[in-house]
């Protein structure tokens, strides 16, 4: 834990990383200064885009001792303001699950290649990024902990499936390769508490290590301080649970 007489420094910048498909995509990277070794974190942004909140979150994880990488999952859609690019992706029905898995796998390999990363890498995502977190942690190995914040559409009906999202992530539960932390609000419409309960049942049935928290008086996106959904008490507690979970499964540099 940070003490007032400790040195703290951070490097935060845009970098380019190779994806699994050979494309090079940009990413925002923040890490503590020093030789570490630091655990790594990959942050999967939400469908509102690769935006300022995700830059702040990237630096927040770095402040807490994690070399943190947030890949731009919309890199191939062209460049503009995060909102304009995200609006384009929204109109296109999101990005393909396979592409996301490849991009996040590339980010994980990038972190593992760094001499100051301790060999542990975690995964975090909110909203569509929460769904992607569950999906990626189930489809590939290489992550040591995963955090799903209010990821909707982890449970999908047949009618919800598309060419880009052809499989409901819950179907991959047996392959979940690391411990999972889930934070949800009981007033959320996506995922609903019933869908969260269904996911939890699947995790139990397959003997997976998980920790779910359902917050009262909170809905979708209760961490977002710039939106009316923000819930101060629940958000503060949620961040504490995230850091404790990462300390347990990834360790920290201090």
Instruction: Answer left, alpha or beta for residue 153, where phi above 0 means left and psi between -120 and 50 means alpha.
Output: left
What 3-state DSSP class applies to 80? coil
Q: State yes or no: residue 160 binds other proteins (CB under 8 A).
A: yes
Contact between 166 and other proteins (CB under 8 A)?
no
Using rule CB under 8 A, residue 169 touches other proteins: no
* Contact status: 121 vs other proteins (CB under 8 A): no
Residue 215 exposed, middle or buried by CB count within 10 Å (0-12, 13-18, 19+): buried
Among 33, 80, 166, 217, the residue binding other proteins under the rule CB under 8 A is 80
The answer to whether 169 and 154 have CB atoms below 8 angstroms apart is: yes
- Contact string (CB under 8 A) for other proteins, positions 185-204, x = contact: ----xx--------------
Smaller CB separation from other proteins, 23 or 247: 23
Here the tokens at position 40 are 């790594």
Name which of 165 and 173 has its Cβ closer to other proteins.
Answer: 165
Neighbours of 92 (CB within 10 A): 12
60: nearest Cα among 138, 132, 124: 124
Q: Is 56 in the site for other proteins (CB under 8 A)?
A: no
* Interacting residue ranges for other proteins, rule: CB under 8 A: 47-48, 77-81, 83-88, 90-91, 93-94, 127-128, 152-153, 160, 162, 189-190, 219-221, 227-229
């Amino acid at each position: 834990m940070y003490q007032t007489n400790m040195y703290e420094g951070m490097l935060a910048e845009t970098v380019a990383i190779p994806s699994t498909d050979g494309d090079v995509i940009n990413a925002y990277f923040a890490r503590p200064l020093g030789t570490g070794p630091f655990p790594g974190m990959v942050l999967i942004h939400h469908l509102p885009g690769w935006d300022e909140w995700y830059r702040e979150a990237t630096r927040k994880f770095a402040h807490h001792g994690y070399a943190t990488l947030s890949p731009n999952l919309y890199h191939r859609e062209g460049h503009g303001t995060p909102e304009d690019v995200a609006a384009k992706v929204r109109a296109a029905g999101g990005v393909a699950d396979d592409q996301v898995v490849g991009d996040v796998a590339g980010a994980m390999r990038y972190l593992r290649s760094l001499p100051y990363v301790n060999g542990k890498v975690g995964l975090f995502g909110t909203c569509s990024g929460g769904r992607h977190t569950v999906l990626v942690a189930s489809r590939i190995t290489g992550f040591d902990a995963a955090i799903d914040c209010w990821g909707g559409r982890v449970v999908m009906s047949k009618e919800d499936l598309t060419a880009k999202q052809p499989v409901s992530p819950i179907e991959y539960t047996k392959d979940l390769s690391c411990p999972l932390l889930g934070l949800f609000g009981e007033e959320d419409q996506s995922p609903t508490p019933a869908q969260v309960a269904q996911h939890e049942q699947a995790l139990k049935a397959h003997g997976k290590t998980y920790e779910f928290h359902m917050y009262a008086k909170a809905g979708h996106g209760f961490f977002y301080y710039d939106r009316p959904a923000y819930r101060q008490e629940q958000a503060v507690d949620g961040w504490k649970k995230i850091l404790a979970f990462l300390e347990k499964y990834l360790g920290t540099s201090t």
